[in-house]
């Protein structure tokens, strides 16, 4: 668990080479122009990076999250936007594997695992973020169909995805009235609102979804009616591991740039890494990243072993994303004025890091999850 297995090492090298060759040439330009390239995602799929944990029966590699996090780290070193893209398209795969019926799996999983199809996850709404159970998008039964009406916000791949896992209200108030549906990207009645102009992750599209009498067959429901929040929350547990792995890759990229700069830059006839103000900062960056990486590895290992991993996943997401924000900010500081310019990538790293403290449950929510777990443990 503490070091890569032979399989993980081989996968890491393959992911590194693929990310650098596929994403590297355009990463700076795509950030500046806020461009998402679906063909680049497909190329990552061709390299075998989009279905790491999906079973071989449905075209995936059939590996575990311990391998999945390795892939995401390497992609994130080059482009955190595309690491998030792979992770988000992986969520429908995780959901289908756990809750889909055979027909749903056969229809969607092979294309998603191959990167030929792009997946998305639609839970958040204008008035429903951390309080996901209060969502207001409705799905009303009409014969053999359900008719969806409402709006979803902050949807990664909105307008680009081929399939959306959508949470909608089929019953009364609260989380028990929510069900999950598979909605194709070309479904009649589904349209797309504004594309968010974001501080970071600018090569990752975040777009509003609008459902206006969007009709889907009843067979599109995932799991059982009223179990949508169970589906969503279990997926978010897994998603916290992938976001944490992405954050670690971003931290590693920032540390690499800062440490290299600090050994090359000289002031007062010394390498600036030899000044304690810089050297100690880099030391803290490295130590914090290693601690975050170990937490993520443990969370992935627990998931692979079929053990409870929700609490450790919350810890991993909290630690890794807070670390990414600190490490990328400190990397800018190490580079000084150069760090604030687009000549070096650390300013992009810092912008990309911030949203990781927000998505997949804000870090305040992670602390709430952990506080509740402690309460249960010590009240018992």
Q: Which residue has the tokens 């030929």?
A: 116
DSSP code of residue 125: B
Distance, in Å, from the CA atom of 187 to the CA atom of 378, rounded to the nearest integer, reads: 49
Phi–psi pair at 319, nearest 5 degrees: -70, -45
CA distances 47 to 211, 260, 293, Å, are 35, 29, 24
Task: Return left, alpha or beta for 315; rule: phi > 0 is left, psi -120 to 50 is alpha, else beta.
Answer: alpha
Distance, in Å, from the CA atom of 131 to the CA atom of 282, rounded to the nearest integer, reads: 38
Distance, in Å, from the CA atom of 5 to the CA atom of 377, rounded to the nearest integer, reads: 34
Distance, in Å, from the CA atom of 282 to the CA atom of 255, rounded to the nearest integer, reads: 7
Out of 106, 196, 360, 379, pick the active-site residue: 360
Closest CA to 226 of 144, 169, 181: 169
Whether 360 is catalytic is yes
Distance, in Å, from the CA atom of 301 to the CA atom of 56, rounded to the nearest integer, reads: 20
Phi–psi pair at 86, nearest 5 degrees: -65, -40
Tell me how crowded residue 89 is: count the other CB atoms within 10 A of its CB.
28
Catalytic residue numbers, as ranges: 360
């Amino acid at each position: 668990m503490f070091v890569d297995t032979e399989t993980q090492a081989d996968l890491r090298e393959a992911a590194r080479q693929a990310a650098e060759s596929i994403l590297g040439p355009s990463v700076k330009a795509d950030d500046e122009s806020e461009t998402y390239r679906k063909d680049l995602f497909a190329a990552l799929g061709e390299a075998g990076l989009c279905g790491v944990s999906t079973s071989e029966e449905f075209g995936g590699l059939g590996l575990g999250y311990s391998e999945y996090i390795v892939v995401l780290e390497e992609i994130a070193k080059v482009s955190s936007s595309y690491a998030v893209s792979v992770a988000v398209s992986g969520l429908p795969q995780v959901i289908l594997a756990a809750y889909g019926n055979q027909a749903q799996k056969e229809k969607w999983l092979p294309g998603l695992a191959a990167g030929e199809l792009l997946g998305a996850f639609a839970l958040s709404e204008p008035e429903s973020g951390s309080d996901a159970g209060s969502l207001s998008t409705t799905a009303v039964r009409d014969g053999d169909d359900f008719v969806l009406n409402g709006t979803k916000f902050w949807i990664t791949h909105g307008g680009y995805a081929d399939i959306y896992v959508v949470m909608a209200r089929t019953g009364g108030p609260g989380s028990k009235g929510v069900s999950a549906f598979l909605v194709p990207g070309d479904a009649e009645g589904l349209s797309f609102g504004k594309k968010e102009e974001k501080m970071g992750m600018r090569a990752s599209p975040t777009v509003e979804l609008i459902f206006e009498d969007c009709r889907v067959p009843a067979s599109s429901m995932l799991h059982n009616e009223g179990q949508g929040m169970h589906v969503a929350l279990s997926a978010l547990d897994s998603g916290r591991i992938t976001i944490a792995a992405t954050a670690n890759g971003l931290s590693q990229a920032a540390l690499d740039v800062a440490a290299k700069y600090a050994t090359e830059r000289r002031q007062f006839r010394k390498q600036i890494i030899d000044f304690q103000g810089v050297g100690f900062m880099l030391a803290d960056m490295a130590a914090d990243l290693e601690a975050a990486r170990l937490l993520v590895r443990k969370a992935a290992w627990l998931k692979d072993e079929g053990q409870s991993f929700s609490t450790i996943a919350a810890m991993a997401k909290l630690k890794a994303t807070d670390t990414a924000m600190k490490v990328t900010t400190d990397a800018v500081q190490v580079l000084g004025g150069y760090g604030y310019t687009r000549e070096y990538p650390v300013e992009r790293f810092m912008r990309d890091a911030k949203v990781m403290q927000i998505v997949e449950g804000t870090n305040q929510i992670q602390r709430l999850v952990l506080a509740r777990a402690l309460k249960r443990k010590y009240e018992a």
